[in-house]
Copies of this chain bind each other. A is one copy, B any other.
Amino acid sequence: MPVANNELNTPPAVVLLSGGLDSATTLAIARDQGFACHAIAFDYGQRHRAELDASLRQAKALGALSHRVVHVDMNQFGGSALTDFSIEVPEAHSQAGIPSTYVPARNTVMLSLALALAETLNSRDIFLGINAVDYSGYPDCRPEYIAAFEHMANLATKAGVEGTRFRIHAPLIDMSKADIIRTGTGLGVDYSLTVSCYQASPDGKACGHCDSCALRAEGFAAAGIADPTHYVKG
C-alpha cells in the first residue's frame, strides 16, 4: 500500500522491514542517507505475526513511500522453531552454534524477493538489518554472505547485465545492539512500535524470555536508554 509519495528527487531503495528493532533502525538509516524507501515485509508462516502489524506502523512513522507484505508459504517446509509449531522456541542463551530458530535460507529468500521488487521499481539499493555481532550463529548474517549475494544479484538481473550494479546495504552488520539503539534513537525511531520477540502475543507484547527478548533488553541497558518494550508480564 502507498504510505506517502512526496519525495521525487531521491533515489529509490527497498528496505526489508520485519517489524523488529533492527530493521526499523535500518529504515531510519536509509532515509537519513537520502533514499526514498519502499518497505517490504514477509509473511512466511512465522509465529510472530504481530511483527507484520508493527512493520506497517513503522513504515508510516518513518516516512516510507510504500509498504508491501509478501506471502511465502515456507511453513510447509518445516525445519525451524520459527515456522514449525512442533519445535519449542529455546530460552535465552540455551545453545551454542547455529540456533534452532535458524530458518533455512530465510535471508536468501527474502533478499531474492527484495531484488525482484528493486528491479521492478528501478531501484539498485537494498537495505537489510542483519547483524553479525548478536547473531553470530546465523550463517546468512555474515559479511561474506552479503558480498556473495550481491555478486550473484548482479549476474541474475537485467540491471546487472546492463551495467548498473545492485548494492546490498547492511548498515548494522558490525554494530552492537546498544549501538543500534543509540543510532536509531538519534534518528527518531520509536522503539515502542517495534516487536522483536520470537513468540509475541497477537497484540505485539513480548515474552521477555526468548533469545531475541534477552538481546533487546540487554541492548537498552547497555545503551543507557529506557526500554519501551511492552511485555506480557509487567
Contact = CB atoms under 8 A, between A and B. Distances in A.
A153 B160 CA distance: 19
A42 to B, nearest CB: 10
B155 A77 contact: no
Interface string A74-104: 1011110000000000000000001000111
Interface stretch (A20-28, A112-120, A176-184): A112-120
Contact of A156 (B78, B139, B153): B139
Given A68-B76, A74-B113, A158 B108 contact: no
A58 B223 CA distance: 58
Contact of A139 (B109, B145, B149, B155): B155
B73 A73 contact: no
B120 A78 contact: yes
A70 to B, nearest CB: 6
Interface in A147-194: 148-149, 151-153, 155-158, 160-161
The A interface is mostly helix, strand or loop, or mixed, namely helix
A32 interface: no
A107 interface: yes
Interface in A13-61: none
Interface string A131-146: 0000000011010110
Given A73-B71, A152-B151, A161-B139, A113 B109 contact: yes
B160 A77 contact: no
B115 A156 contact: no
A108 B71 contact: no
A112 to B, nearest CB: 4
24 contacts: A70-B73, A70-B76, A72-B72, A72-B113, A74-B116, A78-B120, A104-B115, A104-B117, A104-B119, A105-B116, A105-B153, A105-B157, A107-B156, A108-B156, A109-B113, A109-B116, A111-B112, A139-B155, A145-B152, A148-B148, A148-B151, A148-B152, A148-B155, A149-B156
Interface of A: 68, 70-74, 76-79, 98, 102-109, 111-113, 115-117, 119-120, 139-140, 142, 144-145, 148-149, 151-153, 155-158, 160-161
